[in-house]
């Protein structure tokens, strides 16, 4: 498997393996990388199984990289669940792309970290309760796929 340091971009499988092995460099653990992980698990697993894998994977990755869980940093349950809902809905409506990068290029709204503020007030999403456990949005409901749970 090529190193994440190589100049060639990683394939989806290589990227997911580097995330799971915690070998992805911390500086590459960006919002886009989080969304790629969500997309890749959702294309391989059911929503519930993808959520479990994203949840445990982010927590393990953060721990391995020394990302401290604090009131303002580290793992955030509501953000994780909400983003998985957004990626899942988009995936169900549009279908898979040729790669995770292509999917994000086709859906640039998913690369905007602040999009959750369309659904959550800042106070609610940044609350200690939201960090610990999933809470429903207070501004607008999260979108749900109109064609059920099937990924095309």
Tokens (6 digits) for 10: 């990683």
Q: What is the pLDDT of residue 114?
A: 95
Question: What residues form DSSP beta bridges with 70?
Answer: 73
Question: If you write DSSP's letter for every residue of 54-70 in order, what string do you get?
Answer: HHHHHHHHHHHTT---B
The HSE-up count of residue 100 (CA atoms within 13 Å, CB side) is 24
Q: What is the pLDDT of residue 7?
A: 53
In order along its 152 residues, the chain shows pLDDT tens digits of: 444 444 568 899 999 999 999 999 999 999 999 999 999 999 999 999 999 999 999 999 999 999 988 888 899 999 999 999 999 999 999 999 999 999 999 999 999 999 999 999 999 999 999 999 999 999 999 998 886 555 64
Identify which of 89, 147, 82, 88 has the alpha carbon closest to the alpha carbon of residue 114: 82
- DSSP-based three-state secondary structure for 5: coil
Tokens (6 digits) for 92: 């169900």
Distance between CA 133 and CA 19 in Å, rounded?
A: 23
Q: Where are the domains of the chain?
A: 12-132
- DSSP-based three-state secondary structure for 145: coil
Q: What is the pLDDT of residue 81?
A: 97
Question: Is the Cβ–Cβ distance between 82 and 137 less than 8 Å?
Answer: yes
Question: Is the Cβ–Cβ distance between 77 and 141 less than 8 Å?
Answer: no
Distance between CA 3 and CA 38 in Å, rounded?
A: 22
Q: What is the pLDDT of residue 139?
A: 98
């Amino acid at each position: 498997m090529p190193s994440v340091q190589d100049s060639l971009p990683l394939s989806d499988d290589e990227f997911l393996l580097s995330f799971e092995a915690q070998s992805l460099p911390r500086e590459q653990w960006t919002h886009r990388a989080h969304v790629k992980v969500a997309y890749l698990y959702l294309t391989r697993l059911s929503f519930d199984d993808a959520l479990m894998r994203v949840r445990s994977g982010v927590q393990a990755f953060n721990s391995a990289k020394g990302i401290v869980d604090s009131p303002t940093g580290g793992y955030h349950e509501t953000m994780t669940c909400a983003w998985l809902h957004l990626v899942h809905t988009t995936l169900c409506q549009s279908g898979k792309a040729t790669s995770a990068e292509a999917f994000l290029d086709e859906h640039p709204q998913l690369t905007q970290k602040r999009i959750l503020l369309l659904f959550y007030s800042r106070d609610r999403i940044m609350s200690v309760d939201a960090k610990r456990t999933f809470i429903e949005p207070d501004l607008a409901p999260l979108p749900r796929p109109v064609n059920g749970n099937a990924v095309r």
